[in-house]
Amino acid sequence: MSAAGGGDARGAVLGTIRRSLGVTGREAPRRDAVAARIAAARPGVVPARGQLPEAERLALFCAKAEASAATVERVAGAAEVPAAVARFLRDANLPARLRMGADPRMEALPWADTALDVSTGPSDGSDVNGLSWAFGGVAETGTLALLSGPDNPTTLNFLPDNHVVAVSARDVAGDMESVLARVRERYGAGRMPRTLNFVTGPSRSADIEQTLILGAHGPRRLHIILVEG
C-alpha cells in the first residue's frame, strides 16, 4: 500500500469511528481535554527499583553502569575531576589530550594542576578523548542524560574513541521519568534543547555473528566520574 493510500485508509477508519460516536473531532471540550493531557505530561508506571534513599540510589547507579561495561569513579567534589580524568587516561595508557565543551562547571576546574592538553569546542572526529558533564543520571539503568548545546556538544558523545562523563550525585534520579520532568522544568515549552541523548555504557554491537564488539558506533570506553558533595 502506498503512503498516500495508507493515509486515506486511516482517515476513512477514523472517520467511521467519529461518525459512530456522533462527533467530528473539532468539539472544543474534546480538543481542550487533549491539550490538557499533553500539557500535564503525566508519567506512566514507574518501576520501584530506583526509588531508594540517596546512598542506595547512587550505589545502584554505579552498579548498573558497571554492568553495562562502563567504569565509574566517585570523587568528593568537582575540584577532583581533572585529577580523576588524568588518572583514567594514564591507567588506560591513553594520550593526555582532552576535548570538552564550554560548560562553565568544567572551565572553572583546576586543569592546570594536571599535565593534560585540554581543548574546547565540538569534536571534528579526530579527538581521541572527550569530556562531557551530564544533565543527570538514571539509577535504575545506570544511564546518563546528555543535553546538546555549546556547553556539551553532542559530537563529544559519539565521535571520540573514549568518553569521560562527569555527573553530579544530586542529579542522579531513580528513574528516567524524573530526569525528563527536570528537563521540562528547566527549559519549558519552546526552549527545549535540540537533542537529549540517553547513554548506557559504551557503544556496542553484536550484529555480526552474535559477537559483541565495543566501539561499533561510538566510544569504545565510557568512564563516569560521579561528583559527590
105-126 pLDDT per residue, tens: 999 999 999 999 999 999 999 9
Say yes or no to pLDDT of 42 above 50: yes
**At a CB cut-off of 8 Å and minimum separation 6, what does 138 contact?**
50, 61, 144, 145, 172, 173, 174, 175, 176, 179, 198
Sign of CA dihedral 53, 58, 59, 60: positive
Selection from 84, 187, 203, 206 nearest residue 133 by Cα: 84
Distances (CA, A) of 124 to 23, 61, 127, 128: 54, 31, 7, 11
Structural domain range at position 202 = 52-227
Q: Would you say residue 47 lies in a domain?
A: no
How far is C-alpha 18 from the chain's CA centre? 40
| Residue of 41 and 77 predicted with greater confidence | 77
DSSP per-residue string spanning 183-194: HHHHH-TT---S
Q: What is the pLDDT of residue 199?
A: 95
Say yes or no to pLDDT of 2 above 50: no
Q: What is the pLDDT of residue 210?
A: 55
Give yes or no: residues 140 and 28 share one domain: no
- The answer to whether 59 and 137 have CB atoms below 8 angstroms apart is no
Mean pLDDT over the full length of the chain: 89
Most trustworthy range by pLDDT among 12-16, 86-90, 188-192, 209-213: 86-90
What share of the chain in percent tops pLDDT 90?
Answer: 64
Q: What is the pLDDT of residue 1?
A: 41
Grid cell 534520579 in the structure block, residue: 173
CATH number of the domain within which 146 lies = 3.40.50.10420
Give yes or no: residues 8 and 70 share one domain: no
Q: Would you say residue 46 lies in a domain?
A: no
Give yes or no: residues 198 and 115 share one domain: yes
Q: What is the pLDDT of residues 46-97, one digit of tens each?
A: 888 888 899 999 999 999 999 999 999 999 999 999 999 999 999 999 999 9
What share of the chain in percent tops pLDDT 70?
Answer: 90
Give yes or no: residues 183 and 100 share one domain: yes
Give yes or no: residues 8 and 86 share one domain: no
Q: What is the pLDDT of residue 217?
A: 63
Q: What is the pLDDT of residue 33?
A: 84
Q: What is the pLDDT of residue 211?
A: 54
**pLDDT band (50, 70, 90) for residue 148:** very high
Q: What is the pLDDT of residue 15?
A: 86
Number of domains the chain is built from: 2
